[in-house]
Structure 1
Amino acid sequence: MRNVTDRTSNPFGLRAPVDRSDPEDRAAVFGYGDANADFHVIGDYPGVHGGETTGVPFTETAAGLAVQDVARAVGFASGPRDDPVLENCFWSYVYLCSLPADEAPTDDDYADLERFFDAELRAINAHILLPVGARATDRVLREYTTQRRRYDDPLEMGALHASEIRGRGVLVVPIREPSEWADGDREAIVARLEALLASDYRQTKGVATTVG
C-alpha cells in the first residue's frame, strides 16, 4: 500500500508561485484530500470551483458544491462541506492561484502553472482522473492520453460527460461543467463512479508514473 503522506491540505508543500490577490485574501487553493487516492478530481481554478475563503477545492461556489455532492454520493467525502474528510479521493485545480474578483486566468497564466499541476498529479499517481469542465479535460487528454485528436475543438463536454477514455496508465472520466448540467448528468456521473468502485478499476494502471 502506498503511503505518500498523511497531510490533507497541500500534502507536498507547494508554495503559491504568484500572488495577485488582495493582502487579506488567500493566495492559492492547493490540492486537498487523500494523497494515496485512486481517484483524482481536477477542477479549473478557484474563481469557478471555489475555495478562495476556505482553502479547499470544490467548496463555496454552486459548481464546486455540485462536484462535492457527487463525491459524497459515492462515499468519497463526508463531514463539513467547507472542511470535508476525503477517502480514496484527491481534489486539485489546473490553476491553483486566487485572482481578483471576476478575473479569469489567461492562457499564459495556465502555462506558467503547468509544472505545479503536473508535479502534484504525478505525485498522487491516481488510477482514475476526473477532469471537471472543458479546460481541465483538454489538459488531461492532451498530456495523459493519446486520444485528444479524436475529439472536437472545442470539446463537446455533453458527449464526453461520464464516459471512459483510456489514457497512459490511467482511465479518464470527464465531468461536464456543473453549471451546464442537463437532466440526468448528475445521475450519470454518480452511476459511472459507482460502477468503477464496484469493478477491479486498479487494472487500469499500467506503467506507473513518477514525479519529474
Structure 2
Amino acid sequence: MRIDGPAVYGYGDANADFHVFGDSPARHGGTATGVPFTDSEAGRRLQALVHELGFATDAYADEPDLSNLYLSYIHPGDGEPTPASYADQERFLDAELRAINAHILLPVGDRAFAYALEHHTSVRGKTDPRTSEMHATPVRGRGFLVIPVKEPTEWTETDRERLLATLRELLDGDYRQIKGVATTVG
C-alpha cells in the first residue's frame, strides 16, 4: 500500500532508551514539518514535558534536538488513515521499534497503546486498552516497559504531573529491560 502525500517518518536519537509513538500526523501533527509531534497542540504539550525531563533542549521546536528519545507513528502518511492502511503500516513501526531497540515504549493514544499491548506484551486480554484508564501506569512487556500516554490534548494538570512523576522515577532508577538476542549455534 502506498502512502499518498508527505510522510512523517521517525525522528530523534537512534540510540534512544525511550521511544514515543503515536497514531499518525493527522492526529498528532508533523505534516508541515516532517517531524512527529510538531505543528500541533499535542506536539507542544508533549515536547514541553520531554524538555522538562531533559530529553529536548527546547520546550518546543519544529526540529527538536533530542537526546535519548525517539519519536514516530504507527501510520506516517498524510491524511486520515484507514483500517487497511493502518494494518499495512504496522509492520514498518514494528521494524522501527526493534531497530531503535528502546527499553521504554510510550504509546500515545488508544490505538498506539492497543498496538503495544497486542504486539509487545502478553497482557492484551488482561489490561484495559484505554489510555484514559492506564495513563502513566507501567506495563511489563516482552523486552519493553510500556508506559501508556493519554492523548496530550486531553491532559489535565494531574495527568501531566502523573506522567512526569512516572518518567522521573524511571530515569532515577534502572529502567533498562533485559532483552534477549536471538542466535543460532551450530
Bucket of the pairwise TM-score, normalised by the shorter protein:
over 0.9
Per-residue deviation at 1:183?
3.7
Between stretches 65-74 and 160-169, larger displacement belongs to 65-74
Cross-structure match for 1:70 = 49
Code of the aligned partner of 2:43: G
Cross-structure match for 1:40 = 19
Gaps of 5+ in 1: 1-16, 22-26
Measured on the aligned residues, the alpha-carbon RMSD in Å equals: 1.6
Cross-structure match for 2:125 = 149
Confirm or deny that 1:126 pairs with 2:102. yes
Code of the aligned partner of 2:168: E
**Aligned partners of 1:95 and 1:28: how far apart in 2?**
9
**Aligned partners of 1:208 and 1:90: how far apart in 2?**
22
SS at match of 1:40: strand
Of all paired residues, the percent bearing the same amino acid is: 50
Confirm or deny that 1:82 pairs with 2:55. no
Cross-structure match for 1:19 = 3
**Aligned partners of 1:147 and 1:136: how far apart in 2?**
15
Q: 1:86-165 maps to which residues of 2 (within 5 A)?
A: 86-99=66-79, 104-152=80-128, 155-165=129-139
The answer on whether the counterparts of 1:32 and 1:91 sit within 8 Å (CA) in structure 2 is yes
Code of the aligned partner of 1:127: H
SS at match of 2:142: coil
Per-residue deviation at 1:95?
0.4
Q: When the two structures are superposed, what TM-score results if normalisation uses the length of structure 2?
A: 0.92
Deviations 1:143-202 (A, max 9, x none): 0000110134xx332220000000001100000011222340011111111110000111
1:207 to 169, 180, 183: 180
Aligned residues: 182
Per-residue deviation at 1:116?
1.1
Cross-structure match for 1:55 = 34
- Compared CA separation, residues 157 and 43, structure 1 to 2 (3 A): same
SS at match of 1:85: coil
Code of the aligned partner of 1:134: D
Q: 1:180-191 maps to which residues of 2 (within 5 A)?
A: 180-191=154-165
**Aligned partners of 1:186 and 1:131: how far apart in 2?**
15
**Aligned partners of 2:64 and 2:76: how far apart in 1?**
19
SS at match of 2:137: coil
- Compared CA separation, residues 169 and 118, structure 1 to 2 (3 A): same
Q: When the two structures are superposed, what TM-score results if normalisation uses the length of structure 1?
A: 0.81
Code of the aligned partner of 1:96: P
The answer on whether the counterparts of 2:113 and 2:130 sit within 8 Å (CA) in structure 1 is no
- Compared CA separation, residues 48 and 125, structure 1 to 2 (3 A): same
SS at match of 2:48: helix
Q: Which runs of 4+ in 1 moved over 3 A?
A: none
